[in-house]
Amino acid sequence: MSTELQVFLGLALMFGPPSLWAFHKLHKRSLARWAAERPTLERSTIEQRPIGMPALASTAGRSDSAAVAPSTALAPPAAPSRALVPTAALVRHLQRADHVLVVGPTNSGKTTAARAILAARIAAGEQVLIIDPHATPTTWGGLPAVGQGRAYAAISPLLEQLLDTLSQRYARMSSAADYRPPPLTVVVDEWPAIQSHCGKLASTFITELSQEGRKAGLRLLMLAQSDRVESLGIVGKGDVRANFTALLLGSKAVEAYALAAQLPWPAVLRTPTLTYAVDVSAMPKLAAQQFDPSCLWQPEPAPASDPLWLSFLDGADVLEPAAAPADEAPAAATPAQPQPDLPTDDLSQMLRALVEAGFSRTRIVSTLRFAPNRSAAFRCIRVALGEESESEAA
């Protein structure tokens, strides 16, 4: 027997039918008053949230950080969090994230979201580097992009340079306790196209930087239409994807969280353990600003006292030159040529000694990472040998 029926019968037994009739009339008036007030309550709720999404009334009057539920109270990815994360809180989270992957179909707002994240990182004093073969002069707020105009030939050397920078930073951290690598965000768009042109180097790049870049101050901000391992070029390395915090847009957000379809701009934030519905309505405003070119990455100069250089200067046998074949006749002596004025710094002396000992320039550059990139390293060797003046190299 229902509770309402029990109340009616109890009143009938205690006070008789007249009291029962009076209670019934009172109940009808209460229902009418509730029905009259209900549309106003629903309108106030709808004004604060998209239809079908959780109400935000409970977060009114609080800061964005307070509006986000604690991680301990949120459900795992199979049952996404029902808290709609505000734009400001979302951007702050992505500004601090180690590596970010923005995923969505064409025209879903990937570049807009990336520019909003980039604006927050630049405001925090971070340097940026943009790799985008399809970029236009206005795509990234006035900042140039490496590979712009489908210049894929310029991207491979840059990936090598970034991998060299990763090694150099770890080498400096191992020898200088007070060294703090300057933070750098590497923005990469059109990754499948880059991967198809750069091959294995692209796979090595995303694997090493996503796994080891955080401690060296190198962070990735990648844009892609899919987060499948085939699209990212990490087949057989699916755990690499766990290093990224993913912002899913458009149909990709709906695939991850069905209720996101009822948002004006479907968007979902997915971490390795949690999934949130997020509000990205304010991102276009954050992304509209133009960026100062002074935020572009400036490679760090190589330290003047690299331990590996000193080991050569001290006579340590680190490299062994290739031995000449036994049946090869010794080279005829050539008359001494007048030597130009050669640089006398330690690095130049070491490079000349290695070349005279029979080491190839390619092997020297590959083994000793003494310059920001391979092109600069070869220039250093040419200057050390007097083949090029320092002014020409500059």
110 has a pLDDT exceeding 60: yes
* Inter-residue contact 393 to 382 (CB < 8 Å): yes
User: Which string of DSSP letters, residue by residue, matches 180-247?
Assistant: -PPPEEEEE-SHHHHHHHHTHHHHHHHHHHHHHTTTTTEEEEEEES---HHHHT-TT-GGGGGGSEEE
| Residue 57 is assigned to a structural domain of this protein | no
Is 256 part of a structural domain of the chain? yes
Candidate from 10-24, 202-216, 233-247 with smallest mean pLDDT: 10-24
What tokens does 205 get?
Answer: 């790049």
Q: Are residues 142 and 289 in the same domain?
A: yes
Q: How far apart are CA 394 and CA 373, in angstroms?
A: 14
* Whether residue 313 is found in the same domain as residue 203: no
Return mean pLDDT, the chain. Answer: 75
| 288 plus 311 within the same structural domain | no
Query: What CATH number corresponds to the domain at position 181?
Result: 3.40.50.300
Query: What phi and psi values does residue 393 have, to the nearest 5 degrees?
Result: -65, -35
User: What are 61-109's pLDDT values in tens digits?
Assistant: 333 333 333 333 333 343 444 558 899 999 999 999 999 999 999 999 9
Q: For residue 364, what pLDDT is reported?
A: 80
What's the rounded Cα separation, in Å, for the pair 359 and 314? Answer: 18
pLDDT of residue 122: 95
One domain, residues 97 and 138: yes
Residue 121 lies inside a defined structural domain of this protein? yes
What is the rounded distance in angstroms from the CA atom of residue 284 to the CA atom of residue 222? 18
Question: Has residue 289 been placed in a domain?
Answer: yes
296-343 pLDDT tens trace:
998 876 555 444 444 444 444 444 444 545 555 555 544 544 455 677
* 3-state class (DSSP) for residue 130: strand
Q: Is 213 in the same domain as 347? A: no
| 289 & 313 share domain | no
Residues 264, 135: one domain?
yes
The 184-188 sheet, strands edge to edge = 81-85, 275-278, 267-270, 245-249, 100-103, 218-224, 184-188, 127-131
DSSP state of 385: T
**Residue 80 and residue 225 in one domain:** yes
CA 290 centroid distance within chain: 20
**Residue 140 or residue 364, greater confidence:** 140
| Nearest by Cα to 253 from 272, 243, 271, 268 | 268
pLDDT by residue (tens digit) across 210-234? 999 999 999 999 999 988 877 787 7
Range of the domain at 374: 307-324+337-393
Amino acid letter, residue 195: Q
Tell me: do 196 and 284 sit in the same domain. Answer: yes
pLDDT recorded at residue 385: 85
Regarding whether 315 and 254 lie in a shared domain, the answer is no
Residue 8 covered by a domain: no
The verdict on residue 43 lying in a domain is: yes
Check whether residue 100 and residue 41 sit in a common domain.
Answer: no
Asked if residue 218 is part of any domain, the answer here is yes
The predicted-structure confidence for 253-288, as pLDDT tens digits, reads as follows 999 888 888 888 999 999 878 888 999 999 999 999
Clarify whether residues 146 and 200 are in a common domain: yes
- How many domains does the chain fold into? 3
Residue 68 within any structural domain of the chain:
no
